[in-house]
A and B are shown apart, each in its own frame.
Chain A
Amino acid sequence: DTEVTQTPKHLVMGMTNKKSLKCEQHMGHRAMYWYKQKAKKPPELMFVYSYEKLSINESVPSRFSPECPNSSLLNLHLHALQPEDSALYLCASSQDSGGDNEQFFGPGTRLTVL
C-alpha cells in the first residue's frame, strides 16, 4: 500500500465552527507533514511530525492544531478560521526525516471558510 489518504475531500465551514482533517498512511512511515496550498501556488509547509512528535511548526497560527495519535494517523484540528485560510490542505509522509526520503502526498482536502 503506497497510498496516503485524506478525509474529507471537501469541507465548507463557518468562522465559528470546529472541524478536523484526517490523514492516514499504512506504509510504516515515521514522518508526516501538513502543507497548505493556495491556487496556482506551491505547497507551504505547516507542520512536521517525526516519530509522532512535532518537530517543525512553521509559525502557523494557533487556530490550526495538529495531532499525531499514532504512527499511521495525522489530524489537523481547525477552529475559528478566517476566509483567507481557504485552501487545499495536503498531507504527506516519508519513511523518516532523512534528506532523500521521498514524500508521498495525499489528494488533499479542499477547505472553504465562509
Chain B
Amino acid sequence: AQTVTQSQPEMSVQEAETVTLSCTYDTSESDYYLFWYKQPPSRQMILVIRQEAYKQQNATENRFSVNFQKAAKSFSLKISDSQLGDAAMYFCAYRGRFTGNMLTFGGGTRLMVKP
C-alpha cells in the first residue's frame, strides 16, 4: 500500500519570503501522479500543482514549484513571495496511474503567513 508522509505539522513564513513544505511517499509502482492541494480555513480544497512521475522536469505554477526527487521518493512544495492568502492546510497526495481513483493523502501541513 502507498503511504504519504508530511513531517511538518505546522510551518510559518514571513510575507514575501519563501517556504518549502516537505512530502515523502512510499510506493512500489513505477508510474504515478503527485499532487499538492490547498485547503484554506472554511474554504474549498483546490489543486495547487501536480507532477507526473515519468516527467523529470519539476512542475511550476506561478509562485508554486516542486522539487521532485523520484529516487528519494520526495516531493516538496516551494512557495515563493508568500502572500497572506497562502495561509492554509496543504496536503500532499499520491495517485497510482493504473490503480484507479484513489488519492492517498499525507497528514497535512498548516502554513501560517506572518504580515
Binding site for B on A (CB under 8 A): 31, 33, 40-43, 45, 48, 50, 55-56, 90, 94, 97, 99-100, 102-108
Number of B interface residues in the complex (CB < 8 A): 27
Check if B103 is an interface residue, CB within 8 A of chain A. yes
Nearest-Cβ distance from residue A100 to partner chain B, whole angstroms? 5
A42 in contact with B44 given A55-B101, A97-B101, A100-B50 (CB within 8 Å): no
Q: Which residues of B contact A40 (CB under 8 A)?
A: 89, 108, 110
Which residue from chain B places its CB closest to the CB of A32 in the assembled complex? B101
Q: Which residues of A contact B43 (CB under 8 A)?
A: 107
Q: Which residues of B contact A100 (CB under 8 A)?
A: 33, 50, 52, 95, 97
Check if B105 is an interface residue, CB within 8 A of chain A. yes
